[in-house]
Structure 1
Amino acid sequence: MKSVLRLIAGLFAIVVLVVVALAAYLAFLFDANDYRDQLVSTVKAQTGRDLTLNGPIKLSLFPWLGFSIGAAELGNAPGFSDRPFASLASAEARVKLLPLVGGNVEIDRVTINGLQLSLERRKDGQTNWADFGQGKEAPAPESTSSSGDEDRGATGALSVGGIDVTDAAVRWTDAMAGTDYLLNQVDFSTGSIEPAEPFDFKGGFDFSVSQPAANGRLGFSGQATLDTEQQKYTLRQMRFELNAEGAGLPGGKIEAGALADVVADLNAGTLSVGNMNVKLYDLLISGGLNVEGLRDSPNYSGRIEIDGFNPRALMASMGLDAPATANAERLKRARLSANVSGTAQSMKLSNLAGSLDDSEISGSLDVANFSRQALSFDLSINQLDVDSYLPPSTAAPETAPKPGEGAGAGGAAKPLDLRGPAVKGRLRVGALKVSGLNMSQVDTGVALSNGKLTLTPKAALYGGRLDADVGVLAQGKTEQLSLNGGVSGVAIGGLLRDLTAKPERLTGTGNVSMNLAGRGLGGAALRSTLDGSVRLVLKDGAVKGVNVAQFLREAQARLQGSNADTAQGAQQTDFSDMSATVSLGGGVARNSDLSLRSPLLRVSGEGQANLVKETIDYLVKASVVGTLTGQGGKSLDDVRGVTVPVRVGGTFAAPTYRLDVEALLKEAAGARLEEQKAKVKEQVDQKVEEVREKAKDQIKDELKKGLEGLFK
């Protein structure tokens, strides 16, 4: 046994001696630089490019099989810039010689210094690396084994002592997109790399881009594990740090950081990103993501959380001006969390929970297809004050519009175009304030398709209900608007007061139904094209600003030839019920069936209002019925049965009321004439009756005398 061992040891010593002698021979007598021209010719034949070797080539054999090369560059493809495709200052790599005998590859530290890459794309889409691999292909080695398993078994373990890349640069010039990107001062280093064993790495690079214009540095570090046999790759505590500035960045500057664990299993086709934490401006984002089906149809799921932040501060740090809001405390608090899932073409946010200032938001959001912009949602908000987010009202005093000038009669806005997106959803709000109106239990359906937006709001408001159907057709031309439905059982006074922010001119409880259509979304354009009708039915209310009973007293005074008493009582006209139908068309609202009733009065009316000029031309006709005492306690006997006309004029902002004396006198004269006719007729009828009775008596007397003579 000992003799065998001595034999093996002797043979090993001989092998080592031969290898050392061969290495010494090659080191002293073999010069790799003698093959420079052959190497240049081979590269030219295979790639069509010029290889320039400006530095020495060194070769070592024992105990490392290695090489080192000095400055070198590879020319660019024809039709591209004069910059070399690739160049380097120096490179060195070594492989342990003896482990190769056992099929293992042990590489010493690989060092690359001053690598420069110039990647280009022309306007026609051709790249300067597309020609690689188009040269003569080397013949495939003949298989000496019939078993694929044997081939795989011939490959041993691979280990690398580490990688050092210093002072590298990469330029990407894209003539198609008109962009230019430059990465320089690229550094990258690793620890010893062993199969399925963790190793540390770190690196970074400076960058400069043209669109958006920015420059800065990105650094990264972490711990990696490469299990090539199982095709499983792991990055632990992967950290990124970004510092950049430039005119193309929001706010001109950005500082960001990220930390995450990444595991990719190519056999299983999965990728997971865990323990993710991202800091971007003032945003803190955390969560995780799992991807499946990497090989064929990737899909992902996970959760994302955005900690509480100040939207105004975020916009300021991004160089954006926060919108001015009626409530200056708005846009100061927000947060968001949701489960996220989807594919390359879709995304869904479920179990969504967030807040904006005093509003709590929950629900789901689903983008079914990014390319078709197909969106669906189901969101709930506990409370929302829309008015507080609108721009603050100007402090300028209000002035009544001049005749011919309607509110919003400014320049025409660019037509709205809603074609493209397809939206379907539902929005519920517990308490909503918009345009001064307060609503609760709001439930609105939203549908958008081919540029047509349909809203179906339902809500409780002012003791009643809102049930409407709003349609907007916006396809890049003048918008078409439709409104159907209305309100029922609503306290009109409070609604008008909140809607106009002025004292209400009408009170009562009742219904308003609408069937309207128009063109444009606001201003004179919409008012001039509104077409349809509005029906109003109220009970137990009042018309404020006008006291019809006072006009009746004025009418009585005029008829009596005396001066009317000054206005007494509240400037309003009470009613037990009121109804009216308003027809709209050509920019004019017309009414001919006003009916207002109270125990004292009967009021009718007819006329019109110009919606564009905002002027009024309306005649109210009032008459006394029932009791003989009106508002203010004054007797109205002299005008009982007389129709008193009241002319309403002026503008929407400043309406005027006056007694139509001429019409009143005509009405009174006519009434008196009819009264005199009735008296004359009564007197005539009375005389006729007296004559008739007297004639009857005479006839009776004559008849009696005749009968008496006959019997005699």
Structure 2
Amino acid sequence: MKPVLRLLAGLLALVVVVVVGLAAYFSLIFDPNDYRDRLVELVKTQTGRTLTLSGPIELSLFPWLGFSVGAAELGNAKGFSDRPFASLASAEARVKLLPLLTSTVAIDRVRITGLQLSLERRADGQTNWADLGRNAATDEVPVKGKAPGTDAGSPGAQLSVGGIDVSDAVVRWSDAKAGKDFMFSDVDVSTGRIAPGEAFDFKGGFGFSIATPAANGRLDFSGTATLDTAKAQYAVDGLRLTLAAEGAGLPEGKLSVGLLADVRSDLNAGTLSLTGLNAKTLDMLMTGQVAVTGLKNHPAYEGQLSIDGLNPRVVMKALGMTPPVTANAERLKRASFKARVSGTDKAVAFEDMAASLDDSKLTGRVAVEDFARKALRFDVSVDALDVDSYLPPATVSPGPEPDARSGEGEPAKATQPLDLRGQDVAGRLRVGTLKVSGLTLTSVDTQIKLANGRLSLAPKASLYDGRLDMDTTLTARGEREQLAVSGGLNDVRLDPLLRDLTGKPERLSGVGTVGLKLAGQGLGAEALKRTLAGTVSLKVRDGAVKGVNIAQFLREAQARLEGAAAATTQGVQQTDFSDLTATVNLGDGVARNTDLNLRSPLLRVNGEGSANLVKERIDYLVKASVVGTLTGQGGKTLDQVRGVTVPVRVGGTFAQPTYQLDVEALLAEAAKGKLDEQKAKLKERVKEEREKAKGQLKDELRKGLEGLFK
């Protein structure tokens, strides 16, 4: 046995001596620099580009088959800039010889210094690296999965790399199609030993400078990776990304981002997972996880997403948007979001959503069922929402007075008609407490649908002890918008509603029912004033008309008839009633009413007239009559005007209405009443005389007949 071992040891020593001798021979005799021209010619043939080797080329044979190259440069493709496609200061790589006998490629550390890479895309979309896959001489593209000159069916070699070091690299990206240029400088990458199925650490980073938005900074990354190319399985544990940037294009001039995650991918199975996601930026923390399937054919994803500490104003600034000015300056400063996310390349859905915006809490579901059709579906509930606080603050600047002569006012400037075609929206919005236009509504439930340029809103809600039930339709197809409203209010307390709606003392109180059936064109207030047509019906019980005291006008009327001075105004300036009904017809910018009917135990009031919506002026006549007595209510009895219709002329503007007793009509009515009374008395007297004459004639006739018979 010992002789055999000695023989084997001798043979091994002989092999070592031969290999060392050959290595010494080649190192002394063989000079790779003699093959520069051949290498340049080969690159020209294969790529059509010019390779320039300015530095020395060195070769080692044992125990590593290695090479190192000094300064080198690869020219750019035709039709692109004069900058080299790639250049480097130096590069070094070595391969162990003996493992090659077992189809194992063991590479020592690969070192690249001073790499400069220029990536370009022209306006036509062509890139300066697309030609690198072609043979410049034959214009052939290698078969996918097969390297040029190899058999695609041959078994692959096992590859391991002692590590990769890239330092002082620069990468430029010039995109003429998008009109953007980027530069990544100080690119450094370093890894541990890379072998199939074995974990290795990596770290690196690069500086960057971009023009839009104007910013510069640095991105660093690190983690532990596992690569199994045979099984097409890849993993990164503890992936860490940190970004620090500053510049005029960033919110408040700076931005920092931090991200942690674990990544898994199985290309054969077509899966990708992202777990332990933890990202922070703009004081916002995002956590979650996502799993992707069907990477090869039909990608689909599902996961959880949570965002806390979101400041919408800061995010809008970061996206280059100007945050709106709101009536409440503290709005749009606090938000959060949590949901189960799922989707494909054609759709996305947020299920089990729990979100917040300032003081409002939102729950429900939101989904885009088809990106191409813009098909949005939702079912969202909000506990409370103050819409007014998100609107621009009210300005106290009086507008121009309408032209009382023409009655047209200043016409609104023409705007581009709204076009809602191409949008597909359907959903339901519920709000516990909603404040809008000063009104407070509860238990709001609104169905919303938008299709083919037609938007339908069907809100139902409780407000001021009554109910709102409306149907609104807006048709917007690139022409003048068409608006239609129907429905109304039922058993609503009008005094707080009008007070909250206008912000002024209400002019009508009571419990009312309002019916609407209106249609108009345009969306602006001026356009609607001119085009709104339809009817508004009003029924009010147990209320009062504020600002006018009909009883006082009746006292003034009696004083006029008696020839005395009118009594001084006393009591509250309002007219109480038990019920009031009216129908208003709108058209051509005018609201007309002919059937006002107000009743109380003391009065009966009718009215008719119109209001010009464009000029905002009133022309209305109220006719009041006494059916009871006002004694005990601050005035004497009104026997003189009992049965007489007392006219009150209402004029002025919507903002400042005026009320005036129509004396001429009153006197005419009184005179007509007295004349009718005299006529009635005369008629009665004639009737009495006629009856008396009939009696006398009968007596005379009877006496004559008696004399005749005698």
TM-score interval, normalised by the smaller of the two chains: over 0.9
Question: Is 2:492 the partner of 1:490?
Answer: yes
Given candidates 519, 542, 545, the residue that maps to 1:543 is: 545
Conserved in 1, the CA contact under 8 Å of 2:251 and 2:314? no
Given candidates 688, 693, 696, the residue that maps to 2:695 is: 693
Q: Displacement of 1:44 after TM fit?
A: 1.2
Q: Displacement of 1:627 after TM fit?
A: 4.8
Conserved in 2, the CA contact under 8 Å of 1:600 and 1:630? no
Conserved in 2, the CA contact under 8 Å of 1:407 and 1:523? no
Distance in 2, Cα, partners of 1:406 & 1:100: 95
Question: Is 2:62 the partner of 1:62?
Answer: yes
Tell me the TM-score normalised to structure 1 length: 0.94
User: Which amino acid in the other structure matches residue 615 of structure 1?
Assistant: R
> Which residue in 1 is equivalent to 2:591?
589
- For 1:401-412, what aligned pairs fall within 5 Å after superposition? 401=401, 403-404=403-404, 411-412=413-414
> Which residue in 2 is equivalent to 1:219?
220
Q: Which runs of 5+ in 2 are unaligned?
A: none
> Which residue in 1 is equivalent to 2:39?
39
User: Which amino acid in the other structure matches residue 437 of structure 1?
Assistant: L
Q: Displacement of 1:697 after TM fit?
A: 2.2
Distance in 2, Cα, partners of 1:72 & 1:446: 66
- For 1:147-296, what aligned pairs fall within 5 Å after superposition? 151-152=154-155, 155-296=156-297
> Which residue in 1 is equivalent to 2:104?
104
Q: Which runs of 5+ in 1 are unaligned?
A: none
Report the more deviating stretch, 473-482 or 183-192. 473-482
Conserved in 1, the CA contact under 8 Å of 2:45 and 2:135? no
Question: Is 2:639 the partner of 1:637?
Answer: yes
Tell me the TM-score normalised to structure 2 length: 0.94
Report the more deviating stretch, 474-483 or 187-196. 474-483
User: Which amino acid in the other structure matches residue 255 of structure 1?
Assistant: S
Q: Displacement of 1:279 after TM fit?
A: 1.1
> Which residue in 2 is equivalent to 1:339?
340
SS of alignment partner, residue 308 of structure 2: strand
User: Aligned pair in 2 of structure 1 residues 320, 130: CA closer, same or farther (>3 Å)?
Assistant: closer
> Which residue in 1 is equivalent to 2:504?
502
SS of alignment partner, residue 131 of structure 1: helix
Q: How far does the alpha carbon of each residue in 1:610-651 deviate from its partner, in whole angstroms, 9 at most, with x for none?
A: 101100001111112245759534211111111111100000
Question: Is 2:92 the partner of 1:92?
Answer: yes
Q: Displacement of 1:410 after TM fit?
A: 5.8
User: Which amino acid in the other structure matches residue 46 of structure 1?
Assistant: Q
Distance in 1, Cα, partners of 2:627 & 2:675: 21
- For 1:433-448, what aligned pairs fall within 5 Å after superposition? 433-448=435-450
User: Aligned pair in 2 of structure 1 residues 671, 479: CA closer, same or farther (>3 Å)?
Assistant: same
> Which residue in 2 is equivalent to 1:327?
328
Q: Displacement of 1:366 after TM fit?
A: 0.1
- For 1:299-698, what aligned pairs fall within 5 Å after superposition? 299-312=300-313, 322-394=323-395, 401=401, 403-404=403-404, 411-627=413-629, 629=631, 632-698=634-700
- For 1:67-78, what aligned pairs fall within 5 Å after superposition? 67-78=67-78
> Which residue in 1 is equivalent to 2:116?
116
Q: Displacement of 1:667 after TM fit?
A: 1.2
Q: Displacement of 1:213 after TM fit?
A: 3.0
Over the matched positions of the two proteins, sequence identity in percent amounts to 62
> Which residue in 2 is equivalent to 1:702?
704
SS of alignment partner, residue 167 of structure 2: strand
Q: How far does the alpha carbon of each residue in 1:535-593 deviate from its partner, in whole angstroms, 9 at most, with x for none?
A: 11111211111111211111111111111211223211122211111111111111111
Conserved in 2, the CA contact under 8 Å of 1:549 and 1:630? no
User: Aligned pair in 2 of structure 1 residues 172, 326: CA closer, same or farther (>3 Å)?
Assistant: closer
SS of alignment partner, residue 497 of structure 2: helix
Q: How far does the alpha carbon of each residue in 1:676-707 deviate from its partner, in whole angstroms, 9 at most, with x for none?
A: 11111111111111111122222233334444
User: Aligned pair in 2 of structure 1 residues 400, 19: CA closer, same or farther (>3 Å)?
Assistant: closer
User: Aligned pair in 2 of structure 1 residues 456, 73: CA closer, same or farther (>3 Å)?
Assistant: same
User: Aligned pair in 2 of structure 1 residues 408, 461: CA closer, same or farther (>3 Å)?
Assistant: farther
User: Aligned pair in 2 of structure 1 residues 111, 489: CA closer, same or farther (>3 Å)?
Assistant: same
Distance in 2, Cα, partners of 1:51 & 1:312: 53
Conserved in 2, the CA contact under 8 Å of 1:432 and 1:442? yes
User: Which amino acid in the other structure matches residue 69 of structure 1?
Assistant: V
Aligned length: 700
